A and B are shown apart, each in its own frame.
Chain A
Amino acid sequence: MLWQDIWTVFWRDWVVLRRRLKKFIFSRMVAPLLYMVAFGWGLGRSIQVTGGSYLDFLVPGILALNSMNISFNSVTPVHSERIYHKSLEEYIIAPVIPEAFVIGKMLAAVLRGLISSAIILLLAGLFGAQLQLSALFLLVLVLNCIIFSEIGFFAAMTISTYEEMGQVNTYILLPMSFLCGTFFSVHTLPDLVRYAIQMLPLTHTSYLLRGIALSQPVALTSVIVLILYALLFFGMARWAYLRLTK
């Protein structure tokens, strides 16, 4: 029954995504394209990094921040389903396992995150980036999508206004997008700031994706950290959903 319920929740999001797939793909091409032109071609020509071109250094960072944004924002419409349209009630009154709702929404966000990551990889290839892809690379991407879809779910379930939802993007996602080793190495930052940033999940994703893509050694403890974050945020997302009926 759990799998059936997960599939139902996923099916709903898939139906919506399938109808808007072309729009989704084209809209997801804009930001990475700009990043690659501006930072890869433009600014990147004057930046030297060890172990390859700046474009090769940049693409894993773009993948990390993009999969974070896409998976987070894929789940946030649940906020309006809860507060404004109240269509979430359909799930609450149905004999559906609560965890299935969280997992179904999460999987749909992972799918969106992976589609947009595939677009970036395709564009990066056209721009001449040379990256090594592997199963571990895919696992890290999936974990990153899971973590931020869970954070998005938690926010959508606990925040009461649309404005506050926007503030999560401004105060949490936007700083992480720039600071978590996406565009530059965090080693250049002051110690205290660096320690704080190294605790964030996106930093681990950036390190891992870059390390794997550039065939450099990676710390498997970062994978464990990501798994622990995924479990922690799943617990929080589940709690937030169950809290709705209290």
Chain B
Amino acid sequence: MIKVKGLTKEFIRKGRDGKMATKKAVDDLSFEIAQGEIFGLLGPNGAGKTTTIRMLTMQTRKTSGEIKYNGISIEKNEKAIKAMIGVVPQHINFDMDLTVGQNMELHGRLHHMDKHQRQERIQELLNYIELEDTVNMSPRQLSGGMKRRLLIARALIHKPQILFMDEPTVALDPQVRHRIWDLIREMAAQGVTVLLTTHYIEEAENLCNRVAIINKGKLVDIDTPASFCQQMGRYTVEWQTEEGRQFKFFDSKEEAAGFVATLDSSHIRRSNLEDVFIELTGRREGI
């Protein structure tokens, strides 16, 4: 469905010495996403996740590389591709001069939906996210969780085949986060392809069929969360030394227990995506 090959984005910025310098925000990124898949881009802050989404959604131009949707290059049919994608941005970007309903209507109009289609779909989605009473309210009057749900609903009005979600649960409490996860799973079950960026390891582990770990603009690895953990060792022994927290990974619980016996104080737990992330990027992020 989506094929990305050698995607690169360079920005020209003034360096510390006052001279103009080129910085690669995304560096030779390649991956493919299948229809109905929930694909995660996992990386620390500044890894290039948002820039990647912005290139895929044509909000910024790539420096080089190739992006294809169903075999069609984005340069060839920008309008048709824009019609099949939905975008949930990281920041709340409602038009604050419009009501909730008018924000939804504007989106429907921008996607050339007729009046009847728009009204039916807006009602359906507001019911779905349980915000049907907010139609005449200003987005300013909504809580953070309500705004996030509304952002997702807005992106779904024109029934996109692919949904891009940039940090969809950032700064939300656990209850709301789980509610949004359910929403994303339901959409994927209906055949919508989802590409989400997150720096919450737990989010990627719970939601994604596959995860691409990126760091400093480069792809580190792509796999399923379970395979990542298995490759590294399914059990983690964690202990404290003067240098800080130490980790060692084992394929079986017995091996891990044998190692624990040699230490004064330690504990065994199942490996998770955070361990993989730290191993691959050397950085601790998210939870």
Binding site for B on A (CB under 8 A): 1, 4-5, 8, 11-12, 15-16, 81, 85-87, 89-96, 245-246
Q: Would you list 15 pairs from A and B whose C-beta atoms are within 8 A, ordered by A residue?
A: A11-B106, A81-B95, A85-B94, A85-B96, A87-B93, A89-B59, A90-B95, A90-B110, A93-B57, A93-B58, A95-B79, A95-B80, A95-B82, A96-B110, A245-B61
Distance in Å from the Cβ of B277 to the closest Cβ of chain A?
29
Instruction: Report the separation of the CA atoms of residues A126 and B1 in the bound assembly, to the nearest whole angstrom.
Output: 67
Distance in Å from the Cβ of B84 to the closest Cβ of chain A?
9
B80: nearest chain-A partner, CB-CB: A95
B14 within 8 A of A: no
For the complex, would chain A's binding face be called helix, strand, loop or mixed by DSSP majority? helix
Instruction: Report the separation of the CA atoms of residues A90 and B92 in the bound assembly, to the nearest whole angstrom.
Output: 11
A91: nearest chain-B partner, CB-CB: B110
| Interface residues in B219-259 (C-beta closer than 8 Å to A) | none
Distance in Å from the Cβ of B129 to the closest Cβ of chain A?
18
Q: A91-B110, A94-B82, A95-B111 are in contact. Are A16 and B97 (CB under 8 A)?
A: yes
Q: List the 3 shortest-distance A-B pairs measured between CB atoms, nearest first.
A: A94-B110, A95-B82, A86-B93
B59, B61, B102, B112: the one within 8 Å of A15 (CB): B102
Binding site for A on B (CB under 8 A): 57-61, 78-80, 82-83, 85, 87, 89, 91, 93-98, 102, 106-107, 109-112
Distance in Å from the Cβ of A89 to the closest Cβ of chain B?
6
Instruction: Report the separation of the CA atoms of residues A227 and B110 in the bound assembly, to the nearest whole angstrom.
Output: 30
Instruction: Report the separation of the CA atoms of residues A89 and B155 in the bound assembly, to the nearest whole angstrom.
Output: 12
Q: Is the CB of B109 within 8 A of A11?
A: yes
Instruction: Report the separation of the CA atoms of residues A8 and B98 in the bound assembly, to the nearest whole angstrom.
Output: 14
Given contacts A87-B96, A245-B59, 7 further A-B contacts (CB under 8 A): A12-B95, A12-B102, A86-B91, A87-B95, A93-B85, A94-B110, A95-B112
Q: Is the CB of B112 within 8 A of A4?
A: yes
Instruction: Report the separation of the CA atoms of residues A8 and B105 in the bound assembly, to the nearest whole angstrom.
Output: 10
A89, A90, A92, A245: the one within 8 Å of B106 (CB): A90
Instruction: Report the separation of the CA atoms of residues A93 and B78 in the bound assembly, to the nearest whole angstrom.
Output: 10
- Find chain B residues with CB under 8 A from A11 CB: 106, 109
- Find chain B residues with CB under 8 A from A8 CB: 106, 109-110
Q: Is the CB of B80 within 8 A of A245?
A: no
Q: A8-B106, A92-B59, A95-B79 are in contact. Are A16 and B89 (CB under 8 A)?
A: no
Instruction: Report the separation of the CA atoms of residues A95 and B79 in the bound assembly, to the nearest whole angstrom.
Output: 5
